[in-house]
A and B are shown apart, each in its own frame.
Chain A
Amino acid sequence: MSHPALPRSLAATPRLDRWVRFDDELAVTVWSGKVEIGQGIATAIAQIAAEELDVDIRRVNVVAGDTTQSPDEGYTSGSQSIEIGGMAMRQACAEVRALFVAEAARRFEVSVAALRVCDGSIGVAGTDLATSYWELAAQVDLARDASGVAQPKAAALHTVAGSSVQRRDLPAKLTGGAYVHDMALPGMVHGRVLRPPSRGARLEGLDTGTIRAMPGVVAVVVNGSFVGICAEREEQAIAALKAARAAASWRERRSLPQSTDVRDFLPAMRAERTIVGRKGDLPVAGVARRLAARYSKPYLAHASIGPSCALARMQDGHLTVWSHTQGPHRLRNQIARAMALRPADVDVVHADGAGCYGHNGADDVALDAALLAQACGRPVLMQWTREDELASSPFGSAMLVDISASLDGDGEVIGWAHEIWSHPHSSRPGSGEGVDLLAAWDIDPPFAPSKPKDVPLPGGGATRNAVPAYDFPAHEIACNLVRESPLRVSALRSLGAYANVFAIESFIDELAAAANQDPVAFRLKHLREPRARAVIETAAKAAAWTPGRQGDGIRGRGIGFARYKNTSAWCAVIAEVAVGARLEVQRVIAAVDAGEAINPDALVNQVEGGIIQAISWTLKEQVLWDSTRVSARSWDSYPILRFDEVPDIAVTVVSRPDAPPLGVGECAAGPTAAALANALYDAMGLRVRDLPLTPERIARAME
């Protein structure tokens, strides 16, 4: 049965009782498939439900990402949790409210229009007649499909959605245990896995006898090249892991490129070239000038502060895994396949983890935990090490972008070509035919991973944001997809948009400079879309951008802009920098238009975080390697931004309460990178096209 009028997730799970239930004690439970990963979605979902049902938000209990009860909403990714999950919840609650109001109208023999809902009580206006959701719960059968007929409230009536409600998960997190890492079960043991030192390394030998004899060791599980340890106490598991690491011998391949420079190795690899976007014909006549430039971005690590963790229990043939996964239903099926269990015999229950910025180790560690729980017959809290987190999680793909533009005699862009080299940007578990979990490739017999494939446009992986937002008369976008990657790659916040926007927005600045025009004015000249213009103008005004002002050899300012995915939030970022021994970011001003803001402060928080993380990527981060192994293994070998490097940040939200809400988790990444590179150029006249903008890179550019 199809429900064309319903939001995507509600169409997939149309039964209303899968979304909403009125509980005893005047509470409401709502089920969501979109999980809390540090972005505040649990609070936003509660706001949406409270608003649409007209109940106090304190009555709303959100259960998310539990395969025993929550709807399957795929992955919590792509800045889509409000756009998709939130809008499904809004429609589901509107339907539920309408059914209850209709039942109350029948009971009181009044028209629906005469009824008012206030904190769950449904009353006839101007009378004492009243009932409630809870009183009517037995009469209104929610075991029915959403109709698509009920209308959510008009934006003007919103009081809870649209307000900066405080995050509901923070008090617990600021006073003690609140993460999957902090869970405990009776009889639980502590798990560690000895990860192969490099991708594809095979275990040649390990004397497990001495490790089994160590204090507290409950089990040493060797299955092919998978080595897991369970111990009574955590420090005993750590000691056993250390001993196993020293004792194990591995067969490794020298499989990594000789050069760690993206410009060297990426174009040399086998690629499939496709034209992914074309508008008009690139000009052959009337071209006064043609410019071209090549930009690169290295592999990046997720580098969460809390290494991945999972708790698993095998009881009477049923496996339960508590996990900070982004996709509990997909993970359930993948674990079932890897362990030859029926999906019905596996449940995955979401539990909060440390910050998640894409496909990290969360799913991998869940299978580790499950394998160990099965092997040792006791619940296992499986904790990755810092080294595991940095070196074994998937990385964001390295990318290379060539852009060329044709200009007419007035400096107007009349043709634009954008060509990408990149690996695929998503290898999430369950996205292909294989088993995409680390341990599954190490056990004997091993499972094959899915064939690498990229996310197609309009969302795009490598091609995300490759189509310029500017109104150029002609463009051609090509992608050279390098399917095989020397390092394990998958989704990292904003996928290819980070590199594509960095390249586009750097190049636009180069064109503006070539045309001797102000970067803001040059952008606006090529942009008709009012919402795009508005964020640029708002940021420029907030930053007191003075056209034509030049940097002074030390200080400079730069702008970057994009509409995320070309379909989501508009964001403009202006950076002010000072260049000394390093590139110091002094102030960042941003403007964002994300349509209706469900929680304006949480929205600003996400954009601030996106900016700071992108500053870290852009100034400091790159995954390096020797011929065999990744060298990112500690905070020494993979440094990230520190408190003394963080600028003042001011984010302005362009208010559009009547426009559909758009996700903001990823919109600032690309614009921030470009704003920094453009500010460096403004300050020093140095154009650095290869990330990160380290002191070494800047020094080299000065030579």
Chain B
Amino acid sequence: MTLRTLRVNGIDREVTAAPDTPLLYILRNDLGLKGTRFGCGEGQCGACTVILDGRAVPSCDLPLWSAEGHEITTVEGIGREGALHPVQQAFIDVQAAQCGYCCDGIVMAAVALLDRVRDPSDEAIVAALERHLCRCGAHTRILRAIRVAAASIAESAAP
């Protein structure tokens, strides 16, 4: 067990854990950031996706030592009830969920995409969700929500 400092949602947080602990469990159990979810532990489903230095990555197979020194953003860092990120708002406006378990990981992938590409094509959105699985079948709504979010971000950025 070693003391490490992680920069999460813009704040430096100290955690004590074994250096090879997957970031997922640090976020959930040490920092109480439970919107990052366990789905497979093998980086195959996307439920645990966070943004690391602007890139959407699975946190379940990312060791603590390798996350140190990077800017980590979780779903709690982009918005909260009453002050939602446009992507979260779009998911609610479109009702782009059934159980919602896969959604926060997908929201993070969408935020990373929209931070990089203002007006992504449908193909680019689908490509950004390549590593994400949804079992309830909310896919078409999720894709629509991301398009709605892109439009809403573009609108608020317009002069």
A609/B137 contact (C-beta < 8 A), A166-B95, A175-B79, A305-B39 known: yes
Q: Is the CB of A642 within 8 A of B95?
A: no
Please measure, in the bound complex, the distance between the C-alpha atom of A649 and the C-alpha atom of B137, giving whole angstroms.
Answer: 11
- Contact partner of B92 (CB less than 8 A), chosen from A171, A181, A238, A608, is A171
Which residues of A are found within 8 Å of B35, using beta-carbon distances? 174-177
A355/B91 contact (C-beta < 8 A), A181-B38, A306-B39 known: no
A608/B140 contact (C-beta < 8 A), A170-B91, A356-B99 known: yes
Q: Is the CB of A174 within 8 A of B133?
A: no
User: Quick check: is B114 within 8 A (CB to CB) of the other chain?
Assistant: no
Query: For chains A and B in complex, what number of residue pairs have CB atoms within 8 angstroms?
Result: 179
User: Quick check: is A552 within 8 A (CB to CB) of the other chain?
Assistant: no
- Contact partner of A605 (CB less than 8 A), chosen from B38, B79, B80, B98, is B98
User: Quick check: is B86 within 8 A (CB to CB) of the other chain?
Assistant: no
Which residues of A are found within 8 Å of B95, using beta-carbon distances? 164, 166-167, 170, 601-602, 605
Q: Is the CB of A166 within 8 A of B135?
A: no
User: Quick check: is B100 within 8 A (CB to CB) of the other chain?
Assistant: yes
- Contact partner of B97 (CB less than 8 A), chosen from A174, A307, A610, is A174
Q: Is the CB of B101 within 8 A of A355?
A: yes
User: Quick check: is A39 within 8 A (CB to CB) of the other chain?
Assistant: yes
Which residues of A are found within 8 Å of B143, using beta-carbon distances? 643, 646
When each residue 63-78 of chain B gets 1 if its CB lies under 8 Å from chain A and 0 otherwise, what string results?
Answer: 0000000000001100
Q: Is the interface of A mostly helix, strand, loop or mixed?
A: loop
Which residues of A are found within 8 Å of B40, using beta-carbon distances? 386, 634-635
User: Quick check: is A37 within 8 A (CB to CB) of the other chain?
Assistant: yes
| Residue with the highest number of chain B CB atoms closer than 10 Å, among A172, A174, A352, A602 | A174
Which residues of B are found within 8 Å of A644, using beta-carbon distances? 126-127, 130
When each residue 385-429 of chain A gets 1 if its CB lies under 8 Å from chain B and 0 otherwise, what string results?
Answer: 110000000000000000000000000000000000000000000
Closest Cβ neighbor of B93 among chain A residues: A166
User: Quick check: is A613 within 8 A (CB to CB) of the other chain?
Assistant: yes
Q: Is the CB of B141 within 8 A of A38?
A: no
User: Quick check: is B37 within 8 A (CB to CB) of the other chain?
Assistant: yes
Q: Is the CB of A634 within 8 A of B140?
A: no
Which residues of B are found within 8 Å of A306, using beta-carbon distances? 37-39, 47, 99, 101
Which residues of A are found within 8 Å of B1, using beta-carbon distances? 215
Please measure, in the bound complex, the distance between the C-alpha atom of A612 and the C-alpha atom of B141, giving whole angstroms.
Answer: 11
- Contact partner of A385 (CB less than 8 A), chosen from B41, B75, B136, B138, is B41
User: Quick check: is A40 within 8 A (CB to CB) of the other chain?
Assistant: yes
| Residue with the highest number of chain B CB atoms closer than 10 Å, among A169, A190, A608, A643 | A643
Which residues of A are found within 8 Å of B39, using beta-carbon distances? 305-307, 386
Closest Cβ neighbor of B30 among chain A residues: A233
User: Quick check: is A235 within 8 A (CB to CB) of the other chain?
Assistant: yes
Which residues of B are found within 8 Å of A169, using beta-carbon distances? 100
Q: Is the CB of A608 within 8 A of B137?
A: yes
| Min CB gap B62→A, angstroms | 12
Q: Is the interface of B mostly helix, strand, loop or mixed?
A: loop
Residues 30-47 (chain B) with a chain A CB within 8 angstroms = 32-35, 37-42, 44-45, 47
Q: Is the CB of A215 within 8 A of B37?
A: no
User: Quick check: is A489 within 8 A (CB to CB) of the other chain?
Assistant: no
User: Quick check: is A240 within 8 A (CB to CB) of the other chain?
Assistant: no
Please measure, in the bound complex, the distance between the C-alpha atom of A37 and the C-alpha atom of B101, giving whole angstroms.
Answer: 11
Which residues of B are found within 8 Å of A641, using beta-carbon distances? 139
User: Quick check: is B156 within 8 A (CB to CB) of the other chain?
Assistant: no
Residues 148-174 (chain A) with a chain B CB within 8 angstroms = 164, 166-167, 169-174
User: Quick check: is A673 within 8 A (CB to CB) of the other chain?
Assistant: no
- Contact partner of B81 (CB less than 8 A), chosen from A40, A172, A356, A608, is A172
- Contact partner of B137 (CB less than 8 A), chosen from A383, A602, A613, is A613
Q: Is the CB of A38 within 8 A of B100?
A: yes
User: Quick check: is B88 within 8 A (CB to CB) of the other chain?
Assistant: yes
- Contact partner of B130 (CB less than 8 A), chosen from A182, A634, A643, is A643
Q: Is the CB of A643 within 8 A of B91?
A: no
Closest Cβ neighbor of A309 among chain B residues: B38
Please measure, in the bound complex, the distance between the C-alpha atom of A173 and the C-alpha atom of B34, giving whole angstroms.
Answer: 10
User: Quick check: is B129 within 8 A (CB to CB) of the other chain?
Assistant: yes
When each residue 214-242 of chain A gets 1 if its CB lies under 8 Å from chain B and 0 otherwise, what string results?
Answer: 01000000000000000001110010000
When each residue 171-193 of chain A gets 1 if its CB lies under 8 Å from chain B and 0 otherwise, what string results?
Answer: 11111111101100000001000
In the assembled complex, 9 residue pairs joining A and B whose CB atoms fall closer than 8 Å, in A order, are A175-B35, A234-B28, A235-B21, A306-B47, A307-B39, A386-B41, A605-B141, A634-B44, A643-B132
List 5 tightest A-B contacts by C-beta distance, closest first: A38-B99, A177-B34, A612-B137, A609-B137, A355-B99
